[in-house]
Amino acid sequence: MPGELACIETSCRARYAITDVLYNCPSCGGLLEAVYDKPAESAEDLKCLWRERRMSNDPLDQSGVWRYREFIPFLGDLSHVVTLREGCTPLLPGKLAAEYGGLDAVVFKHQGFNPTGSFKDNGMTCGASQAVALGMSRVACVSTGNTSASMAAYASSAGLQPVIFIPYGNISFGKLAQALEYGAKTIQVEANFDQILALVRTLAERLGIYLLNSINPFRIEGQKTIMAEMLDQRDWHVPDWVVLPGGNLGNISAFGKGLRELKELGLIDRLPRLAVVQAAGSAPFYDLMHSSDRSRLNAIGHPETLATAIKIGDPVSWPKALHEIEASQGVVEKVTEQEIADAKAVIGRCGIGCEPASAATLAGIRKLTAAGIMRPDADVVAVLTGNVLKDPGYIHEYHTGVLRDPQGTPIQSNFGNPPTVLPNDSERIAAFLSS
Ligand code: F0G
């Protein structure tokens, strides 16, 4: 049974066919989610089946998303799957990062090990597969860079035309370069992410293009498997906290849904607390969680942060995210540009590395432990959402001491590691290395 689409609004809960091309509920405008009957297998059978598949050479089993296909059963025909062997990302301990964050230990679930270097691949394999199943020929997204890189790769590999919209001058070259290389028709619009999303939604409907932003419920299904894989790798031992950066809030929605469903299926017996960290200049969800009225999010008209991946002022998935934070007794934190930059350098010193948005996790952990909200002996998994090479310009500027925040204030290179220029002279180089 491939399931149905359901409106998330408790006052509505209207149901639609899984093959309807919908992003919002036609009845009340609410967000939609995929819902399914319980799988036939028991929790123990699923655990065994998913573990055994790691030994298989079948492309579906080698994917860290489709290996968990009983957990995301929206496709009637698995021959529609588009996979680049996404997922299968490691859990990496970071000793220095733990010390910096005020924890005894921390483990990073590094989604930057994905085929296009970000967690978006977990969702995109599902979104692109649904596009194929629906017989679409063109797919589109607006993006701060990672969604577009991922969509371009998956669409091209499936023979679909990728059309991407990006805020002109506001995405890193690494991400733009990926979109061009993977063959996307790339439109740079002189507007911010939120303004372009509104534009693309009307254009997609008018031109019959399938929209693959995280408002697409199948993207969320794929991103759920990040939590399934993390727990599988920990022999289903539930951490106390899962920490992640928040932008458009699709990922927190996916993690929360995934964890709740794993609990309902009996694969875990409790939920970890979810902690979302936003950049202080782009923190509308933080503001919502700290306001007395949570019935409506006040968008930020001009979001600012050097962590361009999360430079979003009007996150579409906030109602889902709010539900997941409340259901998991979670928290939302915000961190400054300086805090992100230093945390990122510390993650780098662990030999791990990540892009700026991902480092908001460690910066947030440091604040949460200092505030006594997170205990030093807590079992914490932080999700690094993007690869270190996504934004090399930022890294070079930080280590050479010229990085400035969006207001032009210099960022201190507290963990700076600038390169040294020396002449081609062995004596001088030897003297430098012995000093
Ligand atoms: N981290 C990175 C590296 C991202 O690229 C994004 C989002 C996020 C965190 C936030 O995730 O939106 O689910 O809360 N990037 C989107 C994009 C918006 O277009 O690539 P979220």
Q: Do the beta carbons of residue 397 and residue 246 sit within 8 Å?
A: no
pLDDT at 1 over 80: no
CA distance linking residue 201 with residue 23, whole number of Å = 9
Q: What tens digit of pLDDT does each residue of 95-129 get?
A: 999 999 999 999 999 999 999 999 999 999 999 99
Q: What tens digit of pLDDT does each residue of 145-193 get?
A: 999 999 999 999 999 999 999 999 989 999 999 999 999 999 999 999 9
Atom in ligand 1 nearest the alpha carbon of residue 321: 14
Residue 246 Cα to ligand 1 middle (Å): 7
| Pocket-forming residues, ligand 1, beta carbon under 6 Å | 118, 120, 143-147, 214, 245-251, 309-310, 355, 357-358, 385-386
Atom in ligand 1 nearest the alpha carbon of residue 141: 19
Q: What is the percent of the chain where pLDDT is above 70?
A: 100
Atom in ligand 1 nearest the alpha carbon of residue 358: 1
Query: What is the average pLDDT across 289-302?
Result: 96
- Helix, strand, or coil here: 81? coil
In b/e form, how buried is each residue of 100-125, taking b as 16+ CB within 10 angstroms? bbbbebbbbbbbbbbbbbbbbbbbbb
Residue 116 Cα to ligand 1 middle (Å): 13
Atom in ligand 1 nearest the alpha carbon of residue 390: 3
Which of 120, 175, 361, 391 has the most ligand 1 atoms within 8 A of CB, as the residue to mutate? Answer: 120
HEC secondary structure over 349-361:
HCCCCCCHHHHHH
Side-chain-side CA neighbours of residue 273 (13 Å): 15
Q: Do the beta carbons of residue 144 and residue 390 sit within 8 Å?
A: no
**Ligand 1 atom 9: residue of nearest CA:** 245
Q: Do the beta carbons of residue 69 and residue 78 sit within 8 Å?
A: yes
At residue 273, φ and ψ (nearest 5 deg) are: -80, 140
Whole-angstrom CA distances from 313 to 159, 195, 197, 302 are: 33, 10, 12, 7
pLDDT at 426 over 90: yes
**What does the block give as tokens for 223?**
């991103």
Please report which confidence band the pLDDT of residue 87 belongs to, taking 50, 70 and 90 as the band edges. very high
Q: What tens digit of pLDDT does each residue of 183-226 get?
A: 999 999 999 998 999 999 999 989 999 999 989 999 999 999 99
Residue 152 Cα to ligand 1 middle (Å): 16
DSSP label at 283?
A: -
- Strand partners of residue 331: 275
**What does the block give as tokens for 42?**
């028991």
Which of 31, 146, 227 has the most ligand 1 atoms within 8 A of CB, as the residue to mutate? Answer: 146
Residue 310 Cα to ligand 1 middle (Å): 6
Side-chain-side CA neighbours of residue 221 (13 Å): 29
Q: Do the beta carbons of residue 119 and residue 227 sit within 8 Å?
A: no
CA distance linking residue 414 with residue 160, whole number of Å = 46
- Helix, strand, or coil here: 108? strand
